[in-house]
Amino acid sequence: MRNFDVCIVAIGNDFQSSLETTSLLKELGARMVVSRAARDVQAKFLLRNGADEVVYPERQLARWVAIRCSSDHIMDYIELDGDYAIFEVAVPAEWVGKTIRQADIRKRHGINVMAVRRDGQMDMSVDPDAALAADETLLVLGKYKSLQKCFHI
């Protein structure tokens, strides 16, 4: 076990096996154990028995799907923490033909444009003076509440 940086315990619905495996991995010297839980009470037991981190894949996927499907202009979403997120969104109609500088996105909304996707290619070197087109998407970073307000999420 000491040869691995991280051990992941993702045993289906058999919580007892997950708990035993988590504990055994720690006893065998695993540096970091990440275990899957379905409920908070399971997370509590896993953390007490050797898990260094607990993930809730079903809960995380449900949240991602809800956000992704709640709007037809959201392409992807990553929650960074409780306050910040990254979204890939379609260029809003009122921004089409304007540059990032003209739309004044950072100042008006507190949002940073990290990249622009054109013709299926992500351009990470964003030119603030390039006009935005209707068929492009933006990779934006900001406070979740600011993103919600700006992009009507």
pLDDT of the chain, 153 residues: tens digit per residue = 778 899 999 998 889 999 999 999 999 999 999 999 999 999 999 999 999 999 988 888 887 787 777 776 778 888 887 789 899 999 998 999 999 999 988 899 999 999 999 988 999 998 899 899 999 999 999 998 998 888 877
As a whole number of angstroms, the distance between CA 11 and CA 59 comes to 16
DSSP string, 61-115: HHHHHHHHHS-TTEEEEEE-SSSEEEEEEEPPGGGTTSBHHHHTHHHHH--EEEE
Q: Which residues contact 12 (CB under 8 A, 6 or more apart)?
A: none
pTM (predicted TM-score): 0.66
- In terms of residues, how long is the chain? 153
Provide long-range contacts, Cβ within 8 A and 24+ apart, for 102-107: 103/132, 105/140, 105/150
As a whole number of angstroms, the distance between CA 61 and CA 127 comes to 33
As a whole number of angstroms, the distance between CA 74 and CA 137 comes to 9
Query: What are the structure tokens assigned to 1, written together?
Result: 């076990």
Instruction: Assign 142 to helix, strand or coil.
Output: strand
Estimate to the nearest angstrom the gap between the alpha carbon of 45 and the chain centroid: 26
